[in-house]
Amino acid sequence: MLAGSTALPFVVQAQTVSEKAVSAASRMQTGAAPIAPGEAPPRAGLASGPAPQFTRDNGAPIGENRHSKAAGDMGPVLLEDAHLIEKLARFDRERVPERVVHARGTGALGVFKATADISDITKASLFASGKETPVFVRFSTVIHGKDSPEFARDPHGFATKFYTDQGNWDLVGNNLPIFFIRDAIQFPDMIHSLKPDPILNKQDPNRFFDFFSATPEATNMITQVWTNLGTPASYRTMDGNGVHAFKLVDAQGETVF
């Protein structure tokens, strides 16, 4: 990240010894004045003057961007080189992979308007009768990839962000009122069973029915997925259900579930 260098008292040029020697020799041959501290060496197509200052993500200035911090001239690279670690971490994450679930989706901006007053059980201002709050919603399928059809048989979810005058509030839900499992430790196994076969790249009923046959609490959910609820006509017409218990706090600090 680049930031203006005018507020900084000095700028350390990242040059090797050979670069410095060539730069000094060329300026002596042309009669140009030596490069002053903080001044960038002239380059083709660029105006000379104060050099831009490299900074880390947190805004801390970087004096050296070409050499790692080491234990001595020939020593090993030190793990305490925070800039090196940050630079490599950014490089490793330049290509963001497809998300594991809910990859296929679409978003919408809108306004949430409270049609009933529930201020007797919550002090959240967005639930005051007639209150309008900007909102963003992302609707999605669950299992299949970002290039899959939206009409595939699949639970459908939504993530909602309310931009309230008391701060942002995130709410998530599904179109079905229950879920496959109760214990989160089973979630990776369930998703692996529902994902396409890694060899054939297609969903295999033998894989996920093998998992669900050993998971009796999933019977209710899997039955509903195989009804028309598993293939809603559109995001607009699908049901919405909370996937959590909700705790409301009123103005007196009393709680209601």
* pLDDT tens digits, one per residue of 38-81: 555 555 555 566 777 888 888 888 888 888 999 988 889 999 99
- The strand pairing partners of 159, in sequence order, are 138, 172
pTM listed for this prediction: 0.63
Residue 8 has pLDDT above 90, yes or no: no
φ, ψ for residue 153 (rounded to 5)?
-70, 115
Q: Is 43 helix (H, G, I), strand (E, B) or coil?
A: strand
Residue-wise pLDDT tens digits, 86-137: 999 999 989 888 999 999 999 999 999 999 888 889 999 899 888 999 999 9
How far does CA 87 lie from the centroid of its chain?
18
Q: Give the residue numbers marked as catalytic.
A: 102, 174
Give the chain's domains with CATH numbers. 2-92 (4.10.91.20), 107-256 (2.40.180.10)
Helix 187-194 / helix 205-213 crossing angle, nearest 10 deg: 150
Q: Which residues neighbour 221 within 8 Å (Cβ) at sequence distance 6 or greater?
A: 155, 176, 178, 179, 180
Mean pLDDT of the chain: 83
